Structure 1
Amino acid sequence: MEYTNLPTTSIKVSKICLGTMNMGKQNNEAEGHEQMDYAIGQGVNFFDTAELYAIPIEKETQGSTENIIGTWLKKTGNRDKIVLASKIVGPPIVNKHYIRDTGYSKESFEDALHSSLKRLQTDYIDLYQLHWPDRQTNFFGKRGYNHADASEWDDNINEILHILYGYVKEGKIRHIGLSNDVPWSTMRYLEEAKYRNLPRIVSVQNPYNLLNRTYEAGLAEISLRENIGCLPYSPLGFGRLSNKFIEGHDVSKARINLFPNMARYNGENSLRATQMYYDLARENGMSLATMALAFINQQSFVTSNIIGATTMKQLKENIDSINVTLSDELIASINDIHELIPNPAP
C-alpha cells in the first residue's frame, strides 16, 4: 500500500480508501465486516461513510452503514488504526424530512454529528464533510450553473465554519472537508479560514473517473495550488468501468440495474467511451477496472481513491490497483479517448 498525508495535517492515509455506502443495502453486516477486515489487512487505513448511507436513500436503511462500521470498530478495537471520514447530509439534494429539514444550521449539526458518533461508536471523526452545498449549484447530470436560484441562498459559510470550529475545539472533529462542491465555494471556505482564523478545509470529495473528469476543470488547480486533497468517489462509474457489462457477466445485482435512478453512466456516449477504454485496457493486458483505478491513483491532485465493492473479488481487484503503474504512452492513449468523448457522464 502507498500512503500520503491528508493535506496540511499530520494524518497519514492510504492511497486507497474504503468506500462503504453499499453496507446496509447490497452488503449485510457480516459482509461489511469481512470487507473491512480484508481492507485493513491490505494496509487500507482510511474508511469513508456518511449519515445518509446506505445508498439508495431509504428511511429504513438511513444510518445503517455507520451502524455496521460501529459494530466492527467495537468488535475489533481498531479505532486507533483507522482514519474515519463521515458526512452531514446536504439540504438541497436530499430534503428528506425523516432526517431533517433545517439546512446547515447549528441544530442540524448537533443532530447529525452526535447521531453519527453514536452509530459509529466513537468519540470523534477524523474528517467531517459537508455532503452537498446548501444552494442550487451542483447536481448529478447537470452541466453549468444557473444563477436564477441565487436569491434563495444567503452566504452562510462563515457561520458553518464557526459551528464546526466549536466541534474541533471539543475534540469531536479533527478536520473538515467538502463533498460534491465547486471551485467558487471551495475558495470561499479557504478565504474565510484564512482571514477569520477558522478551520481550513483539507479535502474535496467529488466524482472523478474516466467518464467524468470535470474535477480537472478548476478544482484540480485549486487542489494543487492550495493543497486541498481530492478524494474521488465513484471511480468505476457505478461499475460501468469494469469488464462485467461488456463481457456479459451476471449484472442483475449491479448498482446501475438495481437503482436506475442513479444511472448517470448509461448514456450512449458513456457506453461508446467505455467500450474504447475496455479495448485499450485489453490491449495492455489488464482489466478495465484496474486501468480506470490506476489512472486515478496516479493523478497528482488525488489524495486517496475511494473504492467500493459488493463482492470480495471486486474488492481485491480494486485494492490491487495500487500496485499497477500506467505508462506515459497508455495515459496518452486514455487522454486521446477523453478528447474524442469528453465527460459523457457529468
Structure 2
Amino acid sequence: MQMKPLGRTGIMVSDLCLGTMTFGTQTSEADAHRQMEMALDAGINFVDAAEMYPVNPVSKETIGRTEEILGNWNAANAARRGDYILATKHSGEGLSFVRDGAPITGKTIPEAIEGSLKRLQTECIDLYQFHWPNRGSYMFRQNWDFAPTGHNTDDVLGNMQECLEALQAQVDKGNIRAFGLSNESAWGTAQWVRLAEKMGAPRVASIQNEYSLLCRLFDTDMAELCVHEDVGLMAFSPLGTGLLTGKYQGGAVPDGSRMSLSPELGGRKSDRVFDAVAAYLDVAARHSLDPTHMALAWCRTRPFMISAIFGATTVEQLEHVLAGADLTLSDEVLAELDAAHKAHPMPY
C-alpha cells in the first residue's frame, strides 16, 4: 500500500480508502466491523464516512447510522483508533433530514462536529469535510445545467471566512485535525486556499470529487490547481458505481447490487456508458487483468491523487479489491486506457 501526504498537514494516508456509505443498509454492522479489521490489517489506514450515511437509500430513519457503526467499532477496539485516519463530512444545504437542510455556517459546524464525535465515539476527527458547497455544484451530472450565477460573490466569500473561523475554533479545541472539501469546483477550492492563507486558518488539504475512467472532469482545471496547491483528490466512485467491474454488461442487474436499488445509478446509466465500459473491459482482457483491479490501479497513477475511495458491500468484495492492491499498470496499458477514453469521452 502506497502512502500519500494529505495536503500540507503532515498526515500520511494510504492510496486506497475504505468507503463506508453502505454500512447500515446493504452492509450489516458485523460485516462492517469485519471490513474495518481486514482493511487495517491489509495496510489501509484511511476510512471515509459522512453524517448523512448510509445511502441506498438515504432515509430519515438511518441518518447517522454509519457513524454509529464505526463508533461501536472504535469503542470495542480503542487500541486501534490511532491506526487509521478517520474522515467524515458535514452534510450541507438541502438534506432535510439533517438540521432541516441548513447550510454550512459558523453555527452549524460545531453542532455537526459534536454530533459526529458522539456517534463515532472518538475524541477527534482527523479530516473534516464539507459535503457540498452552499452555492451548488457541478457534480452528480449537474455539470449539464449548473450555472455559476445567482449568488453574490461577497456573500459567498463572507460565508467561507465565517466557516474557516469556526473550523479554527474546532482545531483549537482538538475536535478536528484537518479540513477537506467535496463536490467542489476549481474557483471554490482556490478561494478556500486563498482565504485560509490570508486568515491563518485551516488550509484545505483534500477534495473529494467523482473520478474514474468513466468520469474524468477533474483532468483539466482541477488537476492543475490541485497539483500546484497541494490539495489532493480523494476519488469517489472510482469503479463508476460498479459499472467498470463489468457486472452490469448485457443488461445484467445482480440481486442486491446498487443498480437493483438505484436503477439509473445517479444518472450514470446510458447506452453510451455500456459501450465505454466494453472498451475498458477489452483492455483488461487483452492484458489478462481483472477490471476492478485495473480501474483502481489506474486511478492511483494520477499525479493529483491522494486516495481512491472504494466501497465494498460485502466482505467478499473487499477481499477481491485487496487482492489487487499491489497492481502496477504498464505504459502500454495506460496508453490503451487513454485511447479508450478519447473514443468514449464523458459517457454520462
Contact map agreement 1:51 1:116 (CA 8 A) in 2: yes
Structure 2 Cα separation of the partners of residues 167 and 81 of structure 1: 22
Greater shift after overlay, 232-241 or 317-326? 317-326
Any runs of at least 4 consecutive aligned residues in structure 1 with deviations exceeding 6 A, and if so which? 247-250
1:121 aligns with 2:124: no
Who is 1:79 aligned against? 81
Residue 203 of structure 1 aligns to a residue in which SS? strand
Which AA in structure 1 matches 2:25?
Answer: K
Who is 2:53 aligned against? 53
1:243 aligns with 2:221: no
Q: CA deviation at 1:258?
A: 0.8
What stretches of structure 1 of length at least 5 have no aligned partner?
A: none
Structure 2 Cα separation of the partners of residues 9 and 105 of structure 1: 23
Partner of residue 177 from structure 1, selected from 173, 176, 180: 180
What TM-score comes out, normalization by structure 2 length?
Answer: 0.94
Greater shift after overlay, 6-15 or 50-59? 6-15
Contact map agreement 1:24 1:68 (CA 8 A) in 2: yes
Who is 1:42 aligned against? 42
Structure 1 Cα separation of the partners of residues 263 and 112 of structure 2: 28
Structure 1 Cα separation of the partners of residues 121 and 143 of structure 2: 39
Q: CA deviation at 1:118?
A: 0.3
Residue 330 of structure 1 aligns to a residue in which SS? helix
* Residues 28-71 of structure 1 deviation map (CA, whole Å, 9 limit, x = unaligned): 10010011111011011110000010013110111010001000
Structure 2 Cα separation of the partners of residues 316 and 343 of structure 1: 30
Q: CA deviation at 1:246?
A: 2.9
Structure 2 Cα separation of the partners of residues 157 and 8 of structure 1: 20
Who is 1:143 aligned against? 143
Who is 1:5 aligned against? 5
Which AA in structure 1 matches 2:342?
Answer: E
Residue 323 of structure 1 aligns to a residue in which SS? coil
Contact map agreement 2:24 2:66 (CA 8 A) in 1: yes
Report the CA distance shift for 1:37/1:142 in structure 2 as closer, same or farther (over 3 A): same
1:260 aligns with 2:263: yes
Q: CA deviation at 1:335?
A: 0.6
Q: CA deviation at 1:136?
A: 2.7
* Residues 181-200 of structure 1 deviation map (CA, whole Å, 9 limit, x = unaligned): 11000000011011121110
Greater shift after overlay, 275-284 or 263-272? 263-272
Structure 2 Cα separation of the partners of residues 122 and 87 of structure 1: 15
Aligned residue pairs, count: 343
Contact map agreement 1:297 1:322 (CA 8 A) in 2: no
Q: CA deviation at 1:14?
A: 1.0
Partner of residue 310 from structure 2, selected from 293, 307, 312: 307
Who is 1:216 aligned against? 219
Contact map agreement 1:24 1:61 (CA 8 A) in 2: yes
Structure 1 Cα separation of the partners of residues 250 and 84 of structure 2: 36
Structure 2 Cα separation of the partners of residues 127 and 304 of structure 1: 13
Who is 2:285 aligned against? 282
Who is 2:69 aligned against? 68
Structure 2 Cα separation of the partners of residues 227 and 148 of structure 1: 28
Structure 1 Cα separation of the partners of residues 185 and 206 of structure 2: 12
Q: CA deviation at 1:107?
A: 2.5
Residue 304 of structure 1 aligns to a residue in which SS? strand
Who is 2:199 aligned against? 196
* Residues 221-258 of structure 1 deviation map (CA, whole Å, 9 limit, x = unaligned): 11111111110011111111103223787612111221
Q: CA deviation at 1:15?
A: 1.1
Contact map agreement 2:139 2:209 (CA 8 A) in 1: no
Percent identity reads: 36
Contact map agreement 1:100 1:108 (CA 8 A) in 2: no
Contact map agreement 1:136 1:149 (CA 8 A) in 2: no
Structure 1 Cα separation of the partners of residues 308 and 48 of structure 2: 10
Greater shift after overlay, 21-30 or 95-104? 95-104
Contact map agreement 2:109 2:163 (CA 8 A) in 1: no
Who is 1:226 aligned against? 229
Q: CA deviation at 1:115?
A: 0.6
Which AA in structure 2 matches 1:197?
Answer: G
Report the CA distance shift for 1:58/1:99 in structure 2 as closer, same or farther (over 3 A): farther
What stretches of structure 2 of length at least 5 have no aligned partner?
A: none
1:325 aligns with 2:328: yes
Residue 244 of structure 2 aligns to a residue in which SS? coil
What TM-score comes out, normalization by structure 1 length?
Answer: 0.95
Greater shift after overlay, 125-134 or 334-343? 334-343
Residue 86 of structure 2 aligns to a residue in which SS? strand
Contact map agreement 1:131 1:178 (CA 8 A) in 2: yes
Q: CA deviation at 1:312?
A: 1.9
Contact map agreement 2:18 2:310 (CA 8 A) in 1: yes
Contact map agreement 1:127 1:174 (CA 8 A) in 2: yes
